[in-house]
Amino acid sequence: PWPSPRTAPRAGDCSCLCCASSSRAPPPSSLRSSSATTTKPTPPSGTGATTVTRTMNFTFATQVSAGEGAGSEDPKPQMSPAGFQDVHVMVFVGFGFLMAFLQRYGFSSLGFTFLLAAFALQWSTLIQGFLHARHGGHICVGVESMINADFCAGAVLISFGAVLGKAGPAQLLLLALLETVLFGVNEFVLLSLLGVKDAGGSMTIHTFGAYFGLVLSRVLYRPQLEKSKHRQGSVYHSDLFAMIGTIFLWVFWPSFNSAPTTLGDGQHRTVLHTYYSLTASTLGTFALSALVGEHGRLDMVHIQNAVLAGGVVVGTAGEMMLTPFGALAAGFLAGSVSTLGYKFFTPILEAKFKVQDTCGVHNLHGMPGVLGALLGVLVAGLATHEAYGEGLDSVFPLIAAGQRTASSQAMHQLFGLLVTLMFASVGGGLGG
């Protein structure tokens, strides 16, 4: 069976009601043995399992923690519902208010964010379930599947930011319909087939969402939109709403990066590295904004967006041995690059390449995402048994098992970035 996204495969992972032999939850040993059988189980009555399609014979069932029984020895870590809630708030509140900066598009920004995210959550549950279903043809839903669905919704909203104000709700739903499928396929190829590590989604979420949206914006380019540039600005109260979204995203980003990681040292490192990277990117943003701003003034566009680049850049390497100093350096670099991108590269992107990036997703998600992927290549290439100890198995299971060297893992990380850019570019062109 294929491993599930963002986690290493473990024997006896299936602990869902659909694999139980009765309406009562059996002891953990029964749950583990039922997942190993090759006979397709019949969903019991009274478990809440519902058939999705008769032809494909997929069923839904709510996950039950196999570790809840007395004397359980199942080592599978359970993702925290609190971490899921933090990610959920980021998707609906953080992204929603961050995009409410346009003076005449606030209602649509918030409303369409709500619509797209709600649609993507449902569609992503099906797509990722089909790709990763390994429990006798059943889709097991739980905290892990909900977090992965939120990640997919985040990628869709990043792409939405590139075409903000240029597409109606029907077009946006078609965008989400296509992008969710490609997001799931890209994630499956990277995490399950190539063995790439990308817990915080520098590649699968930020890079994919940004360049999907940028290519889509290029296809949808209309010269007459340049006549309405005065409407693309913000006013005092709209900037305040956008800052609310920024603060929500900034505060909850450590949970976003650490939510899918293995409980223990890897998760602690992810929180720590994201924490320091965000603080460094904030300092870098304020410093560069004052240097490049008119008359030495801070630019609210920089403050609202570039301070978040620190969270993006450690998405891949967060659970690795990046060290606090490395996180500070990466965050400062990402914040500086993002600020300079808003000041200098965005005008070039529109004038030379005909890409109208409304929210500047290339500066907040695109470039920091690529930097984060390259940072992951570097740190993965330096991985050793001495540095990680017993924790190497949770971060780089293939290296720990002797199936791959550190340099080979680094090359797979780099190849994963190229695959992501390919999927994003082709998908954005098809979507446009």
Given pLDDT bands bounded at 50, 70 and 90, which one contains residue 20?
very low
In sequence order, what are the beta bridge partners of 60?
A: 50, 139
- CATH fold of 81-431 reads Ammonium transporter fold (1.10.3430)
pLDDT grade, residue 27 (50/70/90)? very low
Contacts of 234 (CB under 8 A, 6+ apart): 101, 102, 103, 242, 300, 301
Paired residues of 63 in beta bridges? 16
Note whether 159 and 379 are within 8 A (CB). Answer: no
Q: Is 381 exposed, middle or buried (0-12, 13-18, 19+ CB in 10 A)?
A: middle
User: For the chain, which residues make up each domain, given as ranges?
Assistant: 17-67, 81-431
* pLDDT tens, residue by residue, 322-374: 999 999 999 999 999 999 999 999 999 988 998 989 999 999 999 999 999 99
What pTM was computed for the model? 0.83
- At 70-115, the pLDDT tens digits run 333 333 445 778 889 999 999 999 999 999 998 888 899 999 999 9
pLDDT for the residue numbered 295? 83
Tell me: the pLDDT tens digits for 35-55? 333 444 444 444 443 333 333
More confident residue, 47 or 161: 161
pLDDT at 147 over 90: yes
- Residue matched to tokens 């490049």: 292
How many whole angstroms from its chain centre is CA 226? 32
In the predicted model, what is the mean pLDDT of residues 383-389?
93
Amino acid (1-letter code) at residue 244: I
Share of the chain above pLDDT 90, in %: 67
Can you read off the two tokens belonging to residue 194? 């190539």
Which among 343, 331, 276 is positioned nearest to 307, based on CA atoms?
A: 331
Report, as an integer, the average pLDDT of 221-249.
82
Give the per-residue pLDDT at 140: 84
45-54, 123-132, 256-265, 362-371: which has the highest mean pLDDT?
362-371
Of residues 62 and 176, more confidence is placed in 176
